[in-house]
Structure 1
Amino acid sequence: MPPIAALWLALAIDRWLGEPAARWHPVVWMGRYLGWIGSRMAPRAADAKPRDLPLFLAGALAWGVGAMLVGAPALALQASAAQWLPGWAEALVLGLALKPLFAWRMLRAEVLAVEAALAVSLEAGRAQLARLVSRDVSALGEREVRESAIESLAENLNDSLVAPLFWFVLLGLPGAAVYRFANTADAMWGYRGERNGRDWSWFGKWAARADDLLSWLPARLTVLLLALAAWRWPRDVAREARRTPSPNSGWPMAAMALLLGVRLAKPGVYALNAEGRPADAADTRQAAQWGGRAVLATAACASLAIFAATYWA
């Protein structure tokens, strides 16, 4: 079955080769589009209005155009491969196209690099963490740097792997591509208030809500996958997840905090498993190990779902 073979081929490419060069990376192309549009349409912070429906509609339209530019070629490629290529070649084409739409090896390497940098100095750890997160890292101590790295691994396990594969199972390559666009748009536009001199409250509102909707179920499935990886259920995960302002990212982060037995917090915003012990270097490595197991569990569940859908069809 080509979709199942494509899925495992994409995972093999991710493990052994990692990310394609930036000039060939579709997510980089998405980012260029989003950056170009955002720099021209999002207002300067001084010019922002407290309520701006036309700007909201403009953001929704720009998002829709971008999603179409991403989804239509993915649909055409998938349909052409299914119609004109033998099964093995179809799987090869789909696998090569699917790989850039998720990233586990890079995420794992970046998180472990934060831990390695902390072993050198706090400043090195902060600098490495700045590659992973958008928050200000200049005032973070060693504990906060480590917590942020573990949080990033848990959150992006969903955003960068589980959710794209979830939508691949449901809607094929176009589903994974449009989800990746939506998640990238949220990362670049989905802010409340000012960022980099521009106000994103209204222009980025559609992008933020679209990502919330598309990530809702995958984020909760990520909890189940982490529980399978650790072989126990994180009790009170729903209560802890609600402590974060996001409707989705709190779920995998809360699960990771509870499974590790550590406190994970964003200073001044939330604290997950607040009574937990401080995270140490072994917790970062354990989180990466569980993440790897969750990747395999995701692939196995996705394969079963594709097989079952094909069989019953």
Structure 2
Amino acid sequence: MSDYSQQAKQLQSELNNVTNRSLPAQLAISALIKEICLSPKPGLVDMHNNGSHQDMNFDTFVKSIQAISDWFDKFYQYGYESATKGSHEFLTGIRPIGMQCEQAMYQATNHINTHKGGIFAFGLLLGAIGKLEQQKSPIKAQTICDTVSAICQGIVNSELKQNNPTLSVGEKLFKLHNLSGARGEAESGYATVRNISLPIYNEMLNKGYDEESCLLQTMLYLLAYNQDTNLVSRGGLEGLNFVQQQAKKLIDLGGITHANGRQYLSELDNQLIKRNLSPGGSADLIAITWFLSQY
């Protein structure tokens, strides 16, 4: 058993042992566990190193997952109980749960942002599954994504096109480069996952590769094609272009299926660390890809 499999299995038995937890909540926790255990992840915290981060490590992420996992059933339950609400009302009602979940994260990590993007995404995904369940609709990757998209219609326009005097990082990047980040992904129904990472993950699985290799290949495709706002906020468009070009070069060689695939990933990790680049948006999409692959 690989280090990835061992560590992920151990953490799942430690963090996912609440008996009355719903299956969607269990899967969301597993998705976050698999993402943090996946190594090497260029520029990101993993089992090997802290990537381009001085303020967080593997243990910080484990504490964070433990703290936020209690809220996942609340998202799911909210979706189930609010299935008849219109999109705007649904979104307005789920936000306070997300904010409380964030506070639990900050409390556990000493005010370090480990999973803000993950909370946003899984709050919506779990809420959407709860809604579908109540409506007795089929629960598949496509229907989950369509429901998230419907819930989030207009979110980019209403939240990123504002003319606030103190713009958030997301608002600044939208204004400067028309990058819509996590909100854009949600409003599109996770188009990057549906069109790029999930097909690659499933294709690798069908070819008989183990889960770890499938996720590493998936990550490479996300690095190559995701318009990651975390990279732009740290290194400008130049930083994003550098990562995308390097990932495409590795994909052309076969990615993780190349005999030296892991070594090349480790070298890319070193390059991103030197440039202080961290593709945090892609990390969230790795977890979302695995999660949706279960449906």
Give me the TM-score of the superposition, normalised by structure 1.
0.27
Instruction: Pick the structure with greater CA Rg.
Output: 1
